[in-house]
Every structure is written in C-alpha cells, then in structure tokens.
Amino acid sequence: MNGLQTIFSGTIEPGVYRWRGRMTPTTVCSLAAEYGFGCFQIDGRQIEDKASFLQACSTTFTFPAYVGANWDALDEALTDLAWCRANRYLLLYDHVVHFGRNAPDQWAVALDVLRTAVEYWRATTTPMYVLLRNTRGAAPGVPILE
C-alpha cells in the first residue's frame, strides 16, 4: 500500500510527514476529495519568511477576514476551519525548502503550529494530515511517508 493510500484508508496515524511522491498537488487533492478529504495545497516557492507563510495559509485555507497575521491566529484558525468543514483534512505543502533555508527559526515555529493543529484534530473524529514535499533537509526528524 503506498503512502497516500495509507492516509486515505486511515491505516496511518494522522500526523506531519515528509512525502516524496511525484503526483501533482492537483491530482493529490482530486484523489483526496474522492475519499472525503478537504484538501489544501501550498506552493512554497515564494515563501521565504513568516509573513509570506502566513499569507499563503490565509489564501490556501480562505481564512475569514478576522483571522490575524500572527502565529496565535494561525494556530486558532487551523484548529477551527468552520468555514471549510470536511470529514478529514489534508494539507500538501510543496517546496518547504525555501522557507526552511531562508528563515529556519520561523519555519520551526510554523512546523510546530502545523503539528499542534494535527494533534488537535487527532483528538476529534476529523483527522488532519500534513504532507511536506521538497524539504531538502528543512524538516529533520519529520517521519517519511513511504
């Protein structure tokens, strides 16, 4: 069973994973939708710092206007998602390396916020998975989804 299938079938614990798959983000989200996932994709090629990451999240998740541009607001928004309800959530964040290399301390906080969101949703009946692709060393310690 490939990595995505373990997510779609629920046979792997919700979490943050490095993923090396070659499917396009659009294909991943199409497949995810077939399994009842709300799927989101972040293209990290233009993300180099906290501000650009927060903006990308706001755009990707279509945060309401009241969501602020800071770490606490991101944490609260990712553990709410009332405006985009789904049975399960999948975030594919591609090209992580740009943020990780340009602002490693800020990237570490962002990764912690993503992990916190996954933990929050894990305690509910609505799991969240985060796939990090093209990390190139920017996500040490994050397990690889085979």
What average pLDDT score do residues 6-26 get? 95
Q: Give the residue extent of every domain in the chain.
A: 29-138
pLDDT for the residue numbered 2: 80
Q: Tell me the one-letter amino acid at 34.
A: E
Fold of 29-138: Barnase; Chain D (3.30.370)
| Rounded Cα distance, 30 and 113, in Å | 26
With H, G, I as helix, E, B as strand and everything else as coil, classify residue 116: helix
The pLDDT tens digits for 81-139 are: 999 999 999 999 999 999 999 999 999 999 999 999 999 999 999 999 999 999 999 99
pLDDT, residue 140, reads: 93
pLDDT at 146: 80
Q: Residues with Cβ < 8 Å from 25, sequence gap 6 or more?
A: 41, 43, 92, 94
Over residues 28-49, the mean pLDDT reads 97
Q: How many CB atoms lie within 10 A of CB 134?
A: 17
